[in-house]
Amino acid sequence: MPETDMNLVSGISAFEAKEFAKAFKFLSPLAETGNDQAQYRLAVMYQNGLGHVRNDMMALKWMRAAAEQGNSLAQHGLGFMYMQGECVPKDEKQAAEWFRRAAEQGLAGSQMTLGMLYEQGIGVEKNEAEARKWYEKAQQNS
């Protein structure tokens, strides 16, 4: 197994074991070289102050980098940031767009959220049929 793959496995294992300082050491260099899984986990650590001081700017930087590479968890996370106004100014249209990207990749949580947005007309035009469609997809994927 190449060293970068081993470092990713080690970093993810440390992250899941809540050994955030160790995870940070393994994942930071990988994030810098464009690994979306490392970027997503760094964003979560920065956003929640895990293993080091909370840093909204770095959380947004890494969440966006991973989301733009198509990482569905990061797309959902970025949607959440925009929905809550966390690390970025609140923007419901942006939130809906990022939730849509993750939902289209089959992420059930994003599909449920997108259904709710259509049902309530948040960030998108209210549309019962579209809401139902996303709720049904979420049910199939959960």
Rounded Cα–Cα distance for residues 47 and 16 (Å)? 16
Q: What is the pLDDT of residue 3?
A: 77
Q: What is the pLDDT of residue 1?
A: 62
Instruction: Find out whether 111 and 138 touch, Cβ atoms under 8 Å.
Output: yes
Q: What is the pLDDT of residue 17?
A: 97
Q: What is the pLDDT of residue 101?
A: 98
Q: What is the pLDDT of residues 90-117, one digit of tens each?
A: 999 999 999 999 999 999 999 999 999 9
| Closest listed residue to residue 30, CA positions, set 57, 55, 56, 9 | 9
Query: Within the chain, which residues score under 70 in pLDDT?
Result: 1
Average pLDDT in the chain: 96
Helix, strand and coil percent figures for the chain, each rounded to 5: 75, 0, 25
| Spatial CB neighbours of 29, under 8 Å, sequence gap ≥ 6 | 7
* Spacing of C-alpha 9 from chain mean position: 19
Q: What is the pLDDT of residue 139?
A: 95
